[in-house]
Amino acid sequence: MSRAAFALSAAENVLLERVREVLSAEGCSLDEWRILDLLRDGQPRVMSSISDATSILPPALTKMVDRMVANNLVYRRIDTVDRRRINVRLTPRGTSSHRMLAEALDRCDTLYGVSQLQRLAELCELVAELFDGSAAVATDASV
């Protein structure tokens, strides 16, 4: 299994390098993109759920959100029900930025040949099936 983990990690590094290049050219980091993409539905999210979904540690997330607030990409508000919670959502500029970045990332696909894209899609399906199946097996084993 460790060979598979290393192979997937190597593939991720190659694929994300192109993504990082595109985002960097637009002045955005990969982690900022992950936050923008998570918030794209317009719904506010609490910082802890953003951290969980993006795997960005809370101290780093706080600094990143501070920069995004300063750049008018997100709003940050104290939750009206639980004042300990901080809600974050996209500003209109953040929504526009997400749309522009998504289009730029879609153009990344043109860098791959048709057969490469098909194989990548098959790999994504295989990985999804593997983890969907392992989650079911783990659930069955714990019952």
pLDDT score, position 85? 93
Would you kindly state where each structural domain of the chain is located, as residue ranges?
A: 30-128
Rounded CA separation 125/143 (Å): 27
- pLDDT score at 2: 79
Distance from C-alpha of 100 to C-alpha of 8, rounded to nearest angstrom:
28
Q: What global pTM score does this model have? A: 0.79
| CATH fold for the domain made of 30-128 | Arc Repressor Mutant, subunit A (1.10.10)
Instruction: Give pLDDT, residue 57.
Output: 96
Q: Encode the chain (143 residues) as per-residue pLDDT tens digits.
A: 678 778 888 888 888 888 899 999 999 999 999 999 999 999 999 999 999 999 999 999 999 999 999 999 999 999 899 999 999 999 999 999 999 999 998 887 777 778 888 888 888 888 888 877 554 443 343 33
Q: What angle do CA 102, 107, 111 make, to 5 degrees?
A: 140
pLDDT at 141: 39
